[in-house]
Chain A
Amino acid sequence: MSHAVFYEPENRLAKAINTPGGKHVETAIFDAEELVVQAADECVEQIDLALTQVYRLAEHAQSQLDALYKAVREVAGLAGTCGLGDLGAAALSLCNLLDQAHQSGRLNAERLQVHLGVMRLLRRPDRFSETERSEILKNLQAVIDKGQAELA
């Protein structure tokens, strides 16, 4: 029989946050959003740094798969925070492509280039209408679905 022990520890977080004082939840969220918005310029700078790294690593993608994945993941995690959600979605799609490459042991260079091209385009989202951006991302998903089907 397998061993299983249950514990019911004191929830210190609950005790701390329920002490009198503090802020209304609504106010706390609003204040936090204000501080995040103030950092938007820095956030975009970080994305651009990560993108530069992505394009550099992509030149030797097969041998730099893990580093490339890490850099793309950085873009995926940050872009939505500073109004570049579609770029983030494209980066997430590239994460999936690199994940597929890890599973199969082979990176499809054409699909990689398609993703890099789309990321370059979506870095300037104002150049496209919402419908166009949505269409671009839909086609990118089709690229990933094709790769997934090949893996199965």
Chain B
Amino acid sequence: MEKGPIEKNAKDPSKTKARINLERASVLLIDNAWGVELLARIFLGFGSKHLYRCCSVAEATEIIDQHAIDLIVSDAMLDDTEAYPFIRSLRLRAEKDPNRFVPVILLSAHTASRKVTEARDCGANFFVAKPISPKVIMERIRWVAAAKRKYLETDSYAGPDRRFRDDGPPEGMVGRRRGDAKNDQASDGAAA
């Protein structure tokens, strides 16, 4: 069969002189056989040296039980099941477990409407739409590494705080968060 044309991203997408060192980071890649091969190529290009690759939740759990992982990149739909329960179980591990707070980037070509809530609530740090590109994966890695998001555990959710912005309490309302009083004081001080 005829093959389609390959378009390579010729331009520098990052426009940055920043460096990234993935040599020491342990990265777990989870996807079907071909997907994990593609991800591995991307991470090898990035300079990764500690890659764990697997195609199922069962294998991923085994790896997580034995190694401290610094980043997980997983497809949302795996060979044996979906990744959402696996990510949720990760966030509910013991507080001292080195992998409880590991950043997770979930990949998905399409999310069925009945799965949107589950996807939102599973505790992943970011979703990336497939098809993937090295540029987008790199952006997300740097974003996850730079993020100062806290992890939150409530009765119904465990994972990174989904509130990206803290604009303080609504106008005219008294803040209820621990940090709100400080914000009020700061803005009062600025006004004075």
Contact = CB atoms under 8 A, between A and B. Distances in A.
B109 interface: yes
A32 B45 contact: yes
Contacts of A60: none
Given A7-B150, A36-B42, A69-B112, A77 B131 contact: yes
B154 A4 contact: yes
A77 B130 contact: yes
A73 B113 CA distance: 14
A92 interface: yes
A25 interface: yes
A114 interface: no
Given A9-B101, A87-B4, A25 B20 contact: yes
B124 to A, nearest CB: 14
A26 B14 contact: yes
A13 B112 contact: no
Contact of B21 (A19, A38, A74, A87): A19
Contacts of A39: 37-38, 41
Contacts of B71: 13
B25 A17 contact: yes
Interface in B1-52: 1-9, 12-25, 32, 34-35, 37-38, 41-47
Report, as a range, how many residues of chain B touch the other chain: 35 or more
A120 to B, nearest CB: 11
Contacts of B167: none
Contacts of A146: none
A90 B103 CA distance: 32
A36 B131 contact: no
Contact of A28 (B34, B47, B147, B152): B47
Interface in A1-30: 2-9, 11-14, 16-26, 28-30
Contacts of B45: 28-36
Nearest to B46: A28
Interface of B: 1-9, 12-25, 32, 34-35, 37-38, 41-47, 68, 70-71, 75, 77, 95, 100-103, 107-110, 112-114, 130-135, 137-138, 141-142, 144-147, 150-155, 161
9 contacts: A8-B150, A9-B101, A16-B22, A24-B18, A28-B138, A29-B13, A29-B46, A36-B38, A36-B134
Interface of A: 2-9, 11-14, 16-26, 28-44, 46, 48, 69-70, 73-74, 76-85, 87-88, 91-92, 95-96, 99, 102-103, 123-126
Given A4-B152, A4-B154, A12-B25, 16 more contacts: A4-B153, A13-B145, A16-B22, A18-B21, A18-B145, A23-B19, A28-B47, A29-B9, A33-B134, A37-B6, A77-B109, A78-B34, A78-B35, A80-B131, A81-B132, A81-B133
